[in-house]
Structure 1
């Protein structure tokens, strides 16, 4: 049944469900994306050219595909070896790698954020926020009964509200405040967008209402869509641009009109990305070391961007 209302407001459903369903079905093709088999020998020759020591036996795309299996199917490394060994019986070109090799090669993968610029708008609008990822599967009873607390890790992200791609990512522990990660996130986002897709506007909640952030946005020529406090000063107290934004909000008649002018409602897109990420990959991590947890989150975010690119 089609919903015609959303939160009490008219919301006509204009989505073409046949196209949308096909896009979601196409995501499953990534599980068996074995195009690299046709270039197996050529890829190995390129990787081993001029290499000192033992030559590579498995090309990089194969390791990337195995990382996909590890992340999507939550498959341990020993089971991954058996999975490929059995699959190789049906695909003669495929060669199974032992679990130690898989672990070492996946650990060495380049985890820099992968973004597809052609899906970005001419003027990019970015939303910024953070979310918590649990580090243990222990429930509330265990935590309350035995007073065991392992905390959580924090995922800070900037996303493009148009394509839903994650443009900036920082993973920290729970003690790091959101505003402290704004500058490195913005640097990543600007770099990933490139000159052809400049960042036009940044949307953020009150956690980013800091003079330093407004000054950084002004320096880069980026408009602010950051929510300021209701009692914020209208004169400069370290950031003339922040004071200007506060005066602009007051001239418009308050928060509601300011939010409408700056498309602040689009900030929920970052919450939607976090929700999708957790539904697909789970709300926790399986790694036990701090470095392993951070790498696991980075791999999940990269594959999330690849899923978006695959169905765009």
Structure 2
């Protein structure tokens, strides 16, 4: 492909070419007020380049690319602005494996959660008198299992006693104690790391990922003022959550919980980086809120490809990986959108988490609310892992033997 042909490809992708009785009207790239007329039958153009040299100019190439795109070999015309997407392929459910996973899930989740927490290093605590505080593994097990149970702290006491009898806890923990444990800010980074750990057994299955954000409602309200009618009202406070999830098993590989007004696009690269520490990334899908040059370039720099929807006013002139993806979208919309629509899986992930573990948060303090949301995603990952074990025979290995333990933490009020 020569230079004129390359420029013609860009013109066909970013400009609107109009067909008239006298030929195709192609806008100039240097002067917006100038329009050239191209006759593809005689291979002529009114632009100075073609008149002076007689060579096939970029405008003629642009018309040819447009004709190839819009006219099919059988003579039918395809409207590139309203191409219908291919029907989504559906797969039959492996009902025996699904029923088995559902029937053993609660027992297996406790076993997997115990294995997951067993790799946590204990903090260095100075010797003190009185009752020893709960271990990190016991505390994390208790708060995650509490979220899984969907019970109040007092009703959850019987589940903790049963877990202690089964050897998942080194000592019994009162159900009401989980409320205090949930409020420990030092547990937040531990819970975030356990989300990646809980998804790690699925790294052989997941190579394509999707990113999105959603909110969990709380029992707190904030005031807002309607300037038009002068009325003060209340609205829910939401915990906005940004996640990256695999599109095959819907496991969550990375989570970011920031201010409710935090933008979506700046969270894209941190989520991809966090996922790449455990998984090999082939594709990343996201909606148009994430369509920026930086996001496309970051994914391309990893040797992967981003399939992000473009805004209506996008032209591709920004260059780089963004421009390449935009041209791909313009000329192979069906193929591009087939990859992009894997993004619907991240919406399914949010839906599953909210449906199974609740779309609202019981906790009252900001730290506890964040920790509770993180616990929901750990529970979801363990549930996905149980199903993957029944259907795919996946082994649950969270901690390698040669893997160094976590650095000891200095806790202030872990209990």
Asked if Structure 1 and Structure 2 have the same fold, meaning a TM-score greater than 0.5 normalized by the shorter chain, the answer is: yes
1:189 aligns with 2:267: no
CA 1:82/1:10 → structure 2, altered by over 3 Å: closer, same or farther?
closer
1:28 is aligned to 106
CA distance in 2, matches of 1:34, 1:245: 41
3-state SS in 1 of match to 2:283: strand
Higher Rg of the two aligned structures: 2
Q: Is the 8 A contact 1:123 1:200 kept in 2?
A: no
1:124 is aligned to 207
3-state SS in 1 of match to 2:380: helix
TM-score, reference length from structure 1: 0.76
**CA RMSD for the aligned pairs?**
3.5
CA 1:242/1:26 → structure 2, altered by over 3 Å: closer, same or farther?
same
1:310 aligns with 2:393: no
Within a 5 Å distance, the mapping from 1:1-312 to structure 2 comes to: 14-30=92-108, 33=111, 51-54=125-128, 56=132, 58-81=134-157, 84=160, 87=162, 95-98=171-174, 102-106=178-182, 107=184, 108-109=186-187, 110-111=190-191, 112=193, 113=195, 114-121=197-204, 124-136=207-219, 147-193=233-279, 198-235=280-317, 237=318, 239-252=319-332, 255-260=333-338, 263-312=339-388
2:48 is aligned to none
CA distance in 2, matches of 1:297, 1:199: 25
CA distance in 2, matches of 1:294, 1:185: 17
CA 1:100/1:245 → structure 2, altered by over 3 Å: closer, same or farther?
same
Q: Is the 8 A contact 2:160 2:175 kept in 1?
A: no
Higher mean C-alpha displacement, 53-62 vs 152-161: 53-62
Q: CA deviation at 1:167?
A: 0.8
CA distance in 2, matches of 1:284, 1:136: 8
CA distance in 1, matches of 2:166, 2:296: 56
CA distance in 2, matches of 1:47, 1:244: 49
3-state SS in 2 of match to 1:192: coil
Q: Is the 8 A contact 1:116 1:309 kept in 2?
A: yes
Q: CA deviation at 1:203?
A: 0.5
Q: Is the 8 A contact 1:81 1:96 kept in 2?
A: no
3-state SS in 2 of match to 1:229: coil
Q: Is the 8 A contact 1:120 1:160 kept in 2?
A: no
CA 1:271/1:100 → structure 2, altered by over 3 Å: closer, same or farther?
closer
CA 1:27/1:53 → structure 2, altered by over 3 Å: closer, same or farther?
same
CA 1:297/1:102 → structure 2, altered by over 3 Å: closer, same or farther?
closer
Q: Is the 8 A contact 1:130 1:154 kept in 2?
A: yes
Greater helix fraction, Structure 1 or Structure 2? 1
CA 1:137/1:31 → structure 2, altered by over 3 Å: closer, same or farther?
farther
Q: Is the 8 A contact 1:120 1:162 kept in 2?
A: no
CA 1:228/1:88 → structure 2, altered by over 3 Å: closer, same or farther?
closer
Q: Is the 8 A contact 1:69 1:75 kept in 2?
A: no
Aligned length: 280
TM-score, reference length from structure 2: 0.58
1:142 is aligned to none
> Mind listing any 5+ residue stretches in structure 1 that lack a counterpart?
1-7, 37-42, 139-144
